Amino acid sequence: MITNNIYTIKQVKEKGARYDLDSKIIRSPRDAYHIIQTVLDLEHEACEKFGILTLNTKNAVAGVHIISIGNLNSSIVHPREIFKAAIPK
């Protein structure tokens, strides 16, 4: 008995995030901190995470990217992974 299963995987960017990033402009380090705490809630995580905020030319947030998830007290990151997330395709 032969069965032919066909699968499709789609990546969808959800607009229903916990925080509206489209209109948020970074004017100070406090603004960046507030976005990171609101979107990622890192204070309640049990492991280290390394991430970046990407901005457009008007300092509006273009994205929040988690680059590496480590263990209890460290996270290994290579610069190649940072630039890969920061440079649009």
For residues 73-85, give the mean pLDDT. Answer: 89
Give the number of residues written for the chain. 89
Tell me the three state secondary structure of residue 48. Answer: coil
The predicted-structure confidence for 49-78, as pLDDT tens digits, reads as follows 888 999 989 999 888 888 988 887 888 899
Mean per-residue pLDDT of the chain? 81
Asked if the model's pLDDT at residue 1 lies above 90, the reply is no
Q: Which of 18, 89, 31, 17 is nearest to 60 (CA)?
A: 31
Q: What pLDDT is attached to residue 27?
A: 93
Quick one: pLDDT band at residue 16, thresholds 50, 70, 90?
Answer: very low
Predicted structure pTM score: 0.65
